[in-house]
Amino acid sequence: MFSKDILSLPTVVIEHIFKRTPIYDLVNFSLSSEFANFAVNQFNYHVTPSIEVTIKRKNELDFYVEIGVLGCSGVWSIEKKDRKSPRIMEKIGDNLVVISRKSSEALTILTMDILKTTSSLVHHIQSIFKTIDLTVTFDDIMLSEISGISQWKLVSEAKKVKLIDSIVDSWSEFQRLLTPGQDLLLDGASIEFQDGLTEGGLDRLKSFKILNADYQWMLFGFGGTLWTQGPRIYETEEGEKIDCSNGNDWVREDGRVCTLVFTMEGIKEDPMETEVTARRTALFLVWP
């Protein structure tokens, strides 16, 4: 991260430097002071960062959050602090926090309210770039163990919500966090996704992807009628075309048609390896 002396340069030079600075470094600089934040926010960057917020289990009692930017190596880690107030505290939004800058690629934020501070940091990033592409991921955690999760509005602001080996013990409460138009991805056999779908909240989503899906069991659980009227293509908002010629259809209470299709999706078991392993994916789609 560059020195604050950069702010003494001509505005046109500052703009040139800021627009070529990695997103992670630019955000960190904006957190260094109110003046730095003002300087960063005065320009239009014409870029939409892809932000992923991941909630992880720290131990049996606590959780923490990691925030990353696609294409950047740096990570913000937000953890619970003790009740002792150090001499030096900084603000992110309305939250008083302790920021530990141990390296250029790891910034740890200690706070009394992890979820609130996470929202404030995401909104801080959004204030700089105006728009963001947000994903919220729950990784190996029971949602009921997250204090305040039922009121956490950041989930409803996400474009995509992912549950990886995580347990939703109350689908009725989880559904309140979701909004129509979101993508929901489930990866983990422990998730009771079938009940959640049929209880009437998740069917408001435009897509619902389940990894490692068992073909026979899924068809038995979802039912529906096999489409037999020839080729049929579903096109997502991003322009992706999905072959639904062999999909299973059923009609929702609002009259819209839903389709369940199966594909083989390639993944890397290890990001460092080049070999890709295919696994069956069940994709639930709602037609416009």
**Domain positions in the chain:** 207-288
How many other C-beta atoms are found inside a 10 Å radius of the C-beta of residue 226?
9
* Mean pLDDT (10-residue bins), the chain, 288 residues: 79 94 94 92 96 92 92 92 76 89 84 95 97 96 88 93 84 76 72 52 66 66 82 87 90 78 64 57 82
Q: Give the pLDDT of residue 191.
A: 46
Q: Give the pLDDT of residue 284.
A: 82
Q: Give the pLDDT of residue 87.
A: 67
Beta strands 207-211; 183-187: pairing state: parallel
Q: Give the pLDDT of residue 277.
A: 61
Interval 71-121: pLDDT, tens = 888 999 999 987 776 767 888 988 889 998 877 788 999 999 999 999 999
Q: Give the pLDDT of residue 287.
A: 85
How many other C-beta atoms are found inside a 10 Å radius of the C-beta of residue 253?
7
Q: Give the pLDDT of residue 269.
A: 47
Pick from 58, 74, 111, 75: nearest CA to 66 = 75
SS3 per residue for the chain: CCCHHHHHCCHHHHHHHHCCCCHHHHHHHHCCCHHHHHHHHCCCCCCCCEEEEEEEECCCCCEEEEEEECCCCCEEEEEECCCCCCCCCEEECCEEEEEEEEECCEEEEEECCHHHHHHHHHHHHHHHHCCCEEEEEEECCEHHHCCCHHHCCHHHHCCEEEEECCECCCHHHHHHHCCCCCEEEEECCCCCHHHHHHCCCHHHCCEEEEECCCHHHHHHHHCCEECCCCCCEEECCCCCEEECCCCEEEECCCCCEEEEEEEEEEECCCCCCCCCEEEEEEEEEECC
Distance CA 38, CA 108 (A): 22
Radius of gyration in angstroms for the set of CA atoms belonging to the chain, rounded to a whole number? 22
